[in-house]
Amino acid sequence: MILETKALGRDFGGLTALNDINFAIDDQEIVAIIGPNGAGKSTFFNVISGFYPPSRGTVSFRNQNMTGTPTHIFARLGIARTFQTTHLFYNGSVLDNLIVGYRQKTKMGLFDAILRTPRARREEADSREKAQEVLNFIGLAGISTEPVANISQESAKRLAIGLALISEPRLLLLDEPAAGINHNETKGLVELIRKIRSHGTTVCLIEHKVQMVMGLADRIMVLNYGSKIAEGSPTDIGSNQKVIEAYLGRAHHA
Partner 1 sequence: MLSKNQKFKWSWLFYLAVLILAFIFPALNPGSYYIQVVSLAFIYAIAVYGLNLIEGYMGQLSLAQAGLFGFGAYAAALLTMKLQLSFWLAVPLASVLTAVVAFFIGLISFRTRGHYFVIFTLCIGVIINLVIQKWDAVTGGMNGLIGIPKPTPLGPISFDSLKAQYYLILVFLLLTVFVMYRLVNSLIGRTFVSIRNSEELAAALGINVMKNKILAFCVAAFFTGMAGSLYAAFIRFIGPDISSPTLTFEFLLYLLAGGQASIAGPIVGTLLMSGLTESLQFLRDYRLLLFGPLLILIVKFLPMGIVGLIHKLASRSPFRRSAAKSLNPSKTVKGEGL
Ligand X SMILES: Nc1ncnc2c1ncn2[C@@H]1O[C@H](COP(=O)(O)OP(=O)(O)OP(=O)(O)O)[C@@H](O)[C@H]1O
Give residues in contact with ligand X (CB under 6 A). Answer: 12, 15, 17, 35, 37-43, 84
Please tell me the distance from the alpha carbon of residue 147 to that of residue 93, in angstroms, as a whole number: 4
Residue 29, SS3?
Answer: coil
User: What is the C-alpha end-to-end distance of the chain, expressed in Å?
Assistant: 31
Q: How far is the CB of 140 from partner 1 (least distance, A)?
A: 17
When CB distances are held under 5 to 8 angstroms depending on the partner's kind, the choice from Mg ion, partner 1, ligand X, none that residue 17 binds is ligand X
Q: Apex CA 41: angle with CA 186 and CA 4, to 5°? A: 105
Residue 112 sits in the site that holds partner 1 (CB under 8 A): yes
Q: How far is the CB of 35 from ligand X (least distance, A)?
A: 6
Residue 4, SS3?
Answer: strand
- Contact string (CB under 8 A) for partner 1, positions 141-180, x = contact: ------x-xx------------xx--x-------------
Residue 46 sits in the site that holds Mg ion (CB under 5 A): no
Question: Which of 5, 19, 42, 201 contacts Mg ion by CB under 5 A?
Answer: 42
Q: Apex CA 249: angle with CA 244 and CA 252, to 5°? A: 90
Question: Which of 44, 61, 83, 137 contacts partner 1 by CB under 8 A?
Answer: 83
Count the site residues for partner 1 by CB under 8 A: 42
Is the distance from CB of 5 to CB of 57 less than 8 angstroms? Answer: yes
Q: Which among 38, 50, 81 has a CA at the least distance from the CA of 227?
A: 38
Residue whose Cβ sits closest to Mg ion: 42
Residue 106 sits in the site that holds Mg ion (CB under 5 A): no
Chain centre to alpha carbon of residue 6: 20
Residue 237 sits in the site that holds partner 1 (CB under 8 A): no
Residue 37 or 136: the one with the smaller Cβ distance to ligand X is 37
Burial code (b: 16+ CB inside 10 Å, e: under 16) for 144-177 equals bebebeebeebbbbbbbbbbbbbbebbbbbbbbb
Binding site for Mg ion (CB under 5 A): 42, 84
Binding interface with partner 1 (CB under 8 A): 49, 51, 70-73, 75-76, 80-81, 83, 87-92, 96, 99-101, 103-104, 106, 108-110, 112-116, 120, 123-124, 127, 147, 149-150, 163-164, 167
